[in-house]
Amino acid sequence: MLQYISSKLLFSFAISFFLLIIFNGCAGTERYSETGSKKVSSSLRKNINQIRVQLFSTEGEIKFTAKQNVVISDDSKRIAIVKPGNTLQFNSNQNGIELSIGRTKFESTSFRIFEENQGVITFNNKRYRGELVVEVNAGKFFVVNHLSLEDYLRGVLPVEMGVKGKANYLESLKAFAIAARTFAKSKIEKSNSFFDVYPDVRDQVYGGYDVETEIDNQAVNSTIGEILFYENSLVQVFYHSTCGGMTEDVGNVFSSGNYPYLISKKDGDDNCKISPSFIWTEKYTSSQVINFINQSNLYSTTNFELTEIKATERFNSGRIKTLNFAFSNNDELNVGYRQIRNLFRRNDNNGMLRSTNFEITTQSNKGVITEIILSGKGNGHGVGLCQWGSISLSEKGWGYKQILEFYFPSTNIKKINA
């Protein structure tokens, strides 16, 4: 387990594996056993189907206190196996990283920490498949989880497609496994220096070993190596919770370009109407919305009252393109579609607004708005695969290939070596 210990960013961590050679003693001891010259891979990715997930980064030194047996290797070979209670201190220097275990020091550009027999590693109270790699760049340390692409997906599906428990959801999970694998593969092919993906909404939410479920692993195992292509290129994958009856054209939301398979289309007979977010309502007082505007830094003046809120432009899907606010000082503010969801906050969790597909109702007193009601549909940006829609199609008996063809038309599935 890796935890904070002091202001110098100390951590404790535990890794379970079958013992081979032991670095003996308690914390601070100098007794150790080196593992000899058995070669290991460098700190770079082992193969094209391994992914690197950045779990943590920090400035300055870090310390790991082993609570169970730990195998350590440098860029080229195993250097020690450490017993519980010993501290591993990592500092940056001009050659890369200096690792201190008691009075013994090692230098390398990276260090691997792993379980000998492919077991799991515990980091910050979460278990992960694969291994941890400690690297440094310009004095900043990175703790990165290296693991196979398929094992990574086992930790993605349960949190990105959280609805479980029904066997007839399996085809939607298979479809999502392929979409998530394609997304991850596109990140791998960028060949970034230290890591490929973040473990959160900046990429795909990754929960590691502890979140795995039987049905998600079944979806991954039954689609191993399957990737979504458009002609000879990887599909640019987008997905969201609930489209609200109409998906969205990618060019209306993202600046990543236009793709013929990411177009606005009707989601069947409102496939995602089974979603709890298919229809929603948010109610605000005028002071709440004024506070949202002030906090957004979109408008410099704070002394105003709201006199009107209206959608001046909408996309064909019904989502708002431009939202107009009129103020009592005769000024106006236009807010574009990329800013609307961050401007309004949800009342239940202070998260961003579910979608930009909503109607506006206001209550006024003497020309000044007192209450704003947003009546909306859907949850998310609306581009690509609608997760609740795919679940509905799976329940109706659609296969995963049909589901992917529906949400990513004119694409095809190819199998790579996993």
What does the pLDDT read at residue 166? 79
Residue 19 pLDDT grade (very low, low, confident, very high; cuts 50, 70, 90): very low
The SS3 call for residue 169 is helix
Q: Which residues have C-beta within 8 Å of that of residue 138, sequence separation ≥ 6?
A: none
Which two tokens mark 402?
């049909």
- Phi and psi at 140, nearest 5°, equal -105, 125
**Sheet (strand 412-415) strand order:** 233-234, 226-230, 412-415
Residue 192 pLDDT grade (very low, low, confident, very high; cuts 50, 70, 90): confident
**Which is nearest to 20 in space by CA: 62, 63, 65, 79?**
79
Question: CA neighbours within 13 Å on the CB side: how many for 307?
Answer: 11
Pairing of strands 62-66, 10-15: parallel
Query: Which sequence spans correspond to the domains of the chain?
Result: 10-148, 155-275+381-415, 279-377
Q: Which of 48-57, 112-121, 257-266, 277-286 has the lowest mean pLDDT?
A: 112-121
Q: What letters, b where the CB count within 10 A reaches 16 and e where it falls short, cover 321-356?
A: bebebbbeeeeebebebeebbebbbeeeeeeebbbb
Contact 52, 206 (CB under 8 A): no
What does the pLDDT read at residue 366? 92
Which two tokens mark 12?
């404790």
Q: Across the chain, what does the average pLDDT equal? A: 86
Q: Which of 94-108, 113-127, 291-305 has the lowest mean pLDDT?
A: 113-127
Contact 278, 357 (CB under 8 A): no
The SS3 call for residue 343 is helix
Indicate the length of the chain as a whole number.
418
Question: For the residues 5-18, what does the mean pLDDT come to?
Answer: 38
* pLDDT beyond 90 at 302: no
**Sheet (strand 10-15) strand order:** 104-108, 96-101, 87-93, 62-66, 10-15, 121-123, 126-128
pLDDT tens for each residue of 30-69: 333 444 433 333 445 566 789 999 998 888 788 777 766 7
Question: For the residues 252-256, what does the mean pLDDT come to?
Answer: 86
Q: Which of 7-11, 101-105, 127-131 has the lowest mean pLDDT?
A: 7-11
Question: For the residues 366-376, what does the mean pLDDT come to?
Answer: 96
Query: DSSP code of 242?
Result: B
Query: DSSP code of 70?
Result: E
Question: For the residues 242-247, what does the mean pLDDT come to?
Answer: 97
Question: For the residues 173-201, what does the mean pLDDT come to?
Answer: 94
Distance separating alpha carbons of residues 337 and 252, to the nearest angstrom: 8
Distance separating alpha carbons of residues 285 and 277, to the nearest angstrom: 22
Distance separating alpha carbons of residues 34 and 21, to the nearest angstrom: 7
3-state DSSP helix/strand/coil percent for the chain, to nearest 5?
A: 20, 35, 45
* C-alpha angle 101-105-107 in degrees, rounded to nearest 5: 120
Residue 352 pLDDT grade (very low, low, confident, very high; cuts 50, 70, 90): very high
Burial of 300 (0-12, 13-18, 19+ CB in 10 A): exposed
Question: For the residues 65-91, what does the mean pLDDT come to?
Answer: 83
Question: For the residues 230-258, what does the mean pLDDT come to?
Answer: 93
Which two tokens mark 6?
């002091």
